Structure formats: C-alpha cells, structure tokens
Amino acid sequence: MGKRKVVVTGLGVICPLGNDINTFWNNLIRGKSGVSYIEEFDVSDYPTKIAAKVRNFDPLDYLDHKEARRMDRFMLFACAAARQALEDAELVIDYRNAGRVGVWVGSGIGGLATCEKQHVNLLKKGAGSVSPFLIPMMIPNMAAGQISILCGAKGPNGCSVTACATGTHSIGDAFRLIQRGDADVMITGGAEACITPLAVAGFCAMKALSTRNSDPHRASRPFDAGRDGFVMGEGAGIVVLEEINHALNRGAKIYAEVAGYGATGDAYHIVQPDPEGEGAARAFTMALEDAGVSPEEVDYINAHGTSTVINDAMETKAIKRALKDHAYRVSVSSIKSMTGHMLGAAGAVEFIATTLSCQNNLIPPTINYDDPDPECDLDYVPNTSQEKEVNVAITDSLGFGGHNAALVVKKFHG
C-alpha cells in the first residue's frame, strides 16, 4: 500500500490569544499581543515578571466538576481543545469506528503545577497528604489518555515528549500513523501549562526569558535585533487529521492537506541548537521530500522564532540552507511574538495558524519587529498581516536536546 493522503478536518485551541478558533485567528491577524504581568504568584525577586497566559478559561464549559478536579491544567486545556476540534470536525465516534480513531497528544513538561503543589503538601503535612491523583495528573501522556476516555477513541494512543518540538512531532507522528494505514483518524496536538513558580525560576536561571518587564506587549520580538529572550506561554492546540477518503466519504469540511513530515537531531548540545542550523535544515528538506514539493514551491514558513538571540539567527541560516536563494522570496513569521512560547503546545498552535493561512491566503505578522538584525535578513512579515496566495507552507519546531521537526501543509483543492 502506498502512502495515504491526510487532511485536516477539525481545529481546536486554548491559548493567550483566545479560547476558540475564531477569536484566536482574528487576534492573530490583527497582531494582538497576549503577554501581560504574572499575578498568580509572587515574582518580586524574579528577573522576569511577564508571561502569556490563558484568560477567561472555565474547564466546566467542557467537563463536569468531578472530571475537571482530577486533571492538571495542561490536561484541561487539551481536553477543551479536543472537544472543540471534534465538534468542528463533526466526527461521531462509536462502536463502528472507535478502533480506527486514535489520539496522539504531547506535552513538553506535563503536570508541573500539580507536582509543585503536592510537593508543598508533602513537606508541610507529610506523605499522607499527597493526593492519590498526583501521578495521573502529572505524567505527560495523560492528556492523550484523558481525551481518549472522553471521546471513546480506541485506536493508536500515544504521546510525544520533545520539549519545544512536542506539538509538531505529535502531529507528525499522528500523520505517519494515518499515512501508513494504522488509523483512519487521529486527534492530535500538544498542551502545556507551566507558568508556575518553579518553571519560571528555572528558565530565569538559564537566562532564557525576556526581562523587558516595563513593556510586556513588546517583550517577545522574534528576529528583531533587540530581542532578549522568549516569553513563557501556555495553552493547547488540537487538530483532527483524517485519511482523505474517510473525510470525503462522510462529507467532512477539509481545511488543508498535511503533505510531509521531517524529524532530525542536532547531536550538539542539551539546550543550544547547532548554530549553523544543519539539523533544522535537514528537517525542512525531509518534510519537503516527503511531500514531493520543491523548495521553490514554498510560499510561507511559520517559524519557530522564539525571540532568543541564538535560535533566531540559527533558524534563519537553516531556512537558507534548505531553500537556497528562494529563502529570500518566502514569507516567514513567528506567532510567538503574540502568543509567547507555549513550549509543548507551541508547534500544535502554530500548525493551526499555518493551516488557516493556507485556507485564507493571509499570513500573520511578526509583531515588535522594529530593528532589523543583519544576521536575520529574510522577510519576517513585520508588524502587519500579509495577503498572499499560500499553496504550500512549512511550520517547524526546535526543542531542547536538539529535536527538530517540520511539517508541510498544502492548500486543499477539492
């Protein structure tokens, strides 16, 4: 059997720009920042006092109280976004198809908030005070587990955990399962909720976060010469992928085609990417070859674009290595300028943005791009959305540990 064609039929999102697809997309193309001050815990002695938080989220809109109180925040985000995506796809899961519907949802860190809270209980009150739900609320695979339980999906069920590349790897791995015939439908994406005292302190200790505390909306500035680190974000992006004939036979709405996937390793450093972008470039090339697409056909790249000095310069080199001279004719933007860096959820939400760009022929901007960096010399769609025919797009993610992933998304011509 040859490679089966895979399409996107459902979208769901919970993120700093909105808790539904329409709000998210409208804020994205308007260039709205989701960054604000951290108020949930005392950051008076933290170098960084800002983050991109999910607001106005009520898990009881999606789950009953008993279910919700047994889930960490990252799982709540994932389940809510999955409910949205399934409703959007109008997919009914029952005894006839449950075994062919799978779930592949990752998290870079998992239930850190639960872990921190229960550790305090342990220290203050002893072992008997630790919740029996600590482990299932903490482990990263339980977002996928909870989604499968909620919707009855009994097909392949798993979890990719590759730091900041988690969301993209999850969708790519789910794509492969359908492509090779192991499933007809996959519910896939990523979720994260790590704006916590320990996580923020840890990233501050690494000097990875922006300290532009006086102007939160302008703190995340990918590819700009004044960038000084990323801004922590949180949320979830979940999509429904389907084998094309399965989607067509049930009359599903089709957003776009997932056409190619590439995954590589840097074998370089625990947190720094290979400064020459060799591994990232190979991920681009692998995804293009898998899709049967030439570099000259690429219209848009939704970049990882973290707003860190090393990453943005490296990613620019990687794009040039993979696309050669065509790199200067491609539109490149980073929505992390608005959403912050959602870690394990980032790639999934960025995949959704890429899919909507293909559908709407509209590219979201890189906001806060004021001062060009000579090392970053491509078209980063500065500050204002760009109308452009988008037939082929790439979205990529790069994670601590040297994990690189890229997906090719194509406009669907029904």
Q: Which domains does the chain have, with CATH numbers?
A: 6-249 (3.40.47.10), 263-402 (3.40.47.10)
| Position with higher pLDDT, 1 vs 221 | 221
**Half-sphere exposure (CA, 13 Å, Cβ side) for 177?**
26
**Half-sphere exposure (CA, 13 Å, Cβ side) for 50?**
23
Whether the pLDDT of residue 191 is over 70: the answer is yes
Q: Is 15 designated active site?
A: no
pLDDT at 283: 98
In which region does residue 351 sit, left (phi positive, over 0), alpha (psi from -120 to 50) or beta (all else)? alpha
Widest Cα–Cα separation across the chain: 63
Given 164, 194, 204, 376, the catalytic residue: 164
Buried b (16+ CB within 10 A) or exposed e, 331-364: bbbbbbbbbbbbbbbbbbbbbbbbbbbbbeebbb
In angstroms, the CA 373 to CA 42 distance is: 35
Residue 1 pLDDT class (50, 70, 90 cuts) = low
Could you tell me whether strands 403-411 and 6-14 are parallel, antiparallel, or unpaired per DSSP bridges? unpaired
pLDDT at 329: 98
Residue 386 pLDDT class (50, 70, 90 cuts) = very high
Read off the pTM: 0.98
